[in-house]
């Protein structure tokens, strides 16, 4: 459906369910991959055959480690055409007044700070080459606060705002920045934690990966700052 032969795609959270599905989708259409995960062991487990891929370990809340990963990708491939900020986390179950500050820090770090730092490191290279695509993962929960998940909702709402701001700042440089808003993703872990749910209403990682591919394609060249519910 989409051709990405020769394009360099950097994907965070590449060892997770959605990150793996996204990387596999790009691999199948000929892209060069720079896959980022929290450690090499986890990445190697997820990608035992990594021929033609660059596996990069980085703490996505650490500015220096992110900068090193970006520089290694540029050194290896010469450019970054697409950044998919897939990595994130979830924590809920407590009202705001009972939520520890540590949970606030964790959610803001893994969901918002990671997008901020990765995009901040990649955007100068995309500006210099005059083109680029950034796709972020927010959540449907970002659209409205709900009881006992306010911190998670706030962290994902920050991703939407970052997306809109980066889109406005970089459109004139030939860069598209957009995001997707998944509901519950159909994974083995989510099924185990919510065994009585209606799985037919959940969205599969493969479906989401195809939406990321669309946003990274020329077909989405007129989209800037869009948040797509899925």
Angle at 160 between CA 150 and CA 46, to 5 degrees: 85
Virtual CA dihedral for 136, 195, 197, 212, nearest 10 degrees?
20
**Token pair recorded at residue 64:** 């220096």
Determine the pLDDT at residue 1: 57
User: What does the DSSP 8-state code read for residue 222?
Assistant: T
Please check whether residue 36 is in contact with residue 69, taking contact to mean a CB–CB distance below 8 angstroms: yes
**Per-residue pLDDT, 172:** 98
> DSSP 3-state assignment of 134?
strand
Contact yes or no for 17/90 (Cβ under 8 A): no
Q: What's this model's pTM, rounded to 2 decimal places? A: 0.96
- C-alpha span between 209 and 216 (Å, rounded): 11
pLDDT for position 3: 79
The distance of Cα 74 from the centroid of its chain, to the nearest Å, equals 19
Catalytic residues: 152
CATH of 8-229, one of 3.90.1300.10, 3.40.50.720, 3.30.465.10, 3.40.50.2300: 3.40.50.720
Q: Is the dihedral of CA 106, 112, 113, 119 positive or negative?
A: positive
Q: Please write down the HEC assignment for all residues of 54-65.
A: EEEECCCCCHHH
Please, are residues 199 and 14 in contact by the beta-carbon 8 Å criterion?
no
Q: How far is CA 109 from CA 33, 105, 224, in A?
A: 24, 6, 25
Per-residue pLDDT of the chain (230 residues; tens, 9 = 90+): 577 999 999 999 999 999 999 999 999 999 999 999 999 999 999 999 888 899 999 999 999 999 999 999 999 999 999 999 999 999 999 999 999 999 999 999 999 999 999 999 999 999 999 999 999 999 999 999 999 999 999 999 999 999 999 999 999 999 999 999 998 887 778 888 888 888 888 889 999 999 999 999 999 999 999 999 98
Q: CA 114 to CA 98: how far, in whole Å?
A: 25
- Dihedral sign for Cα 86, 87, 93, 95, please: negative
The two beta strands, 175-181 and 227-229, are parallel
């Amino acid at each position: 459906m989409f051709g990405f032969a020769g394009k360099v795609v950097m994907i965070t959270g590449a060892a997770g369910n959605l990150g793996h599905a996204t990387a596999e989708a790009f691999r199948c259409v000929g892209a060069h991959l720079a896959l980022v995960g929290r450690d090499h062991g986890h990445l190697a487990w997820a990608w035992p055959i990594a021929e033609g891929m660059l596996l990069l370990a980085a703490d996505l809340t650490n500015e220096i480690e992110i900068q090193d990963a970006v520089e290694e990708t540029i050194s290896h491939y010469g450019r970054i055409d697409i950044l998919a900020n897939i990595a994130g986390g979830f924590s809920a179950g407590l009202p705001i007044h009972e939520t520890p500050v540590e949970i606030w820090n964790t959610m803001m770090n893994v969901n918002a700070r990671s997008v901020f730092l990765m995009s901040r490191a990649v955007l100068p290279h995309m500006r210099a080459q005059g083109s680029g695509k950034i796709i972020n993962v927010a959540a449907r929960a970002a659209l409205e606060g709900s009881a006992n998940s306010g911190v998670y909702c706030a962290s994902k709402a920050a991703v939407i705002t970052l997306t809109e701001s980066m889109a406005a700042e970089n459109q004139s440089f030939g860069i598209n920045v957009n995001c997707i808003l998944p509901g519950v993703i159909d994974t083995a872990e989510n099924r185990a934690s919510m065994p009585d749910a209606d799985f037919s209403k959940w969205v599969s990682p493969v479906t989401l990966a195809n939406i990321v591919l669309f946003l990274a394609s020329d077909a989405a060249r007129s989209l800037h700052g869009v948040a797509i519910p899925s």
